[in-house]
Amino acid sequence: MNDMGAYFTYYLTGFIMIPVFLFAAICQWKVNIAFNKYSRVKGSRGMTGADAAYQLLKINGITDVRIRRVTGKLTDRYNPNTKEICLSEAVFSSTSVAAIGIACHEAGHACQHAEGYFPLKIRNAVIPATRIGSWLGVPLAVFGMLLYSDTLIYIGLVLYAAVALFQLITLPVEFNASRRALNTIEANGFLDANEFQGAKSVLTAAALTYVAALTSALATLYRLVLIVYRKR
């Protein structure tokens, strides 16, 4: 197959992405539904998201991590460079079941960082390549098809493979952070039994978005590999 044919094949295989996009949309919808539902359910202990994150850190002997409020919805994250747990306005001061689950999840990442959790180290190591790959991987491969350049196609393929690798490594990192959060919540009575199930539902829904991101990355990588294979 010539390069122009490969170019058209890439776009004709776009149908592969339709179920992927639908799956991603459903996952995001489930996150929003779960968050909105359990944001209205208040924890019986009166603990805020910031309180829960602080207590989880304290239980694990971590004293050098700052907890701060940030703007936006579902913008919660742990920054390993500044050792900060950033909690959104809907989580930081909220006493809801959703807030406690999310805050403890982010604190779980802080625990991973403190103990040198190996998958987290790998993920952090590939972040630079992932950023380049997400920006240039597909465009380079497409330009390579248009310019009849195998070199550009292969460079684009390798760069985008880093994106897929990042999404793959992200799964155990996120699942482990949620498991740490839920174990701590249950063992230390942050929530009662019924409330605990709500927090679990929120974190389970959130985990599916990472599965969707991996599925999308693998589908895109498959399309690029298919082009390389068909060119032979």
Instruction: Verify whether residue 106 is a known catalytic residue.
Output: yes
Q: How far apart are CA 185 and CA 183, in angstroms?
A: 6
Residues 226 and 151 sit within 8 Å (Cβ to Cβ)? no
Torsion of CA 42, 205, 111, 116, to 10 degrees: 180
- Distance, in Å, from the CA atom of 97 to the CA atom of 117, rounded to the nearest integer, reads 27
Rounded distance, CA 209 to CA 38, Å? 18
Give me the residue label for tokens 């992405």: 17
Query: In the chain, what are the helix, strand and coil shares in percent, each to the nearest 5?
Result: 75, 5, 20
Measured over the CA atoms of residue 172, residue 174, residue 177 and residue 181, the dihedral's sign is negative
Rounding to the nearest 10 degrees, give the CA dihedral for residues 128, 134, 140, 141: 120
Provide the CA 173 distance to its chain's centre, in angstroms: 9
Q: Choosing from 89, 106, 186, 195, which is the catalytic residue? A: 106
| Catalytic residue set | 106
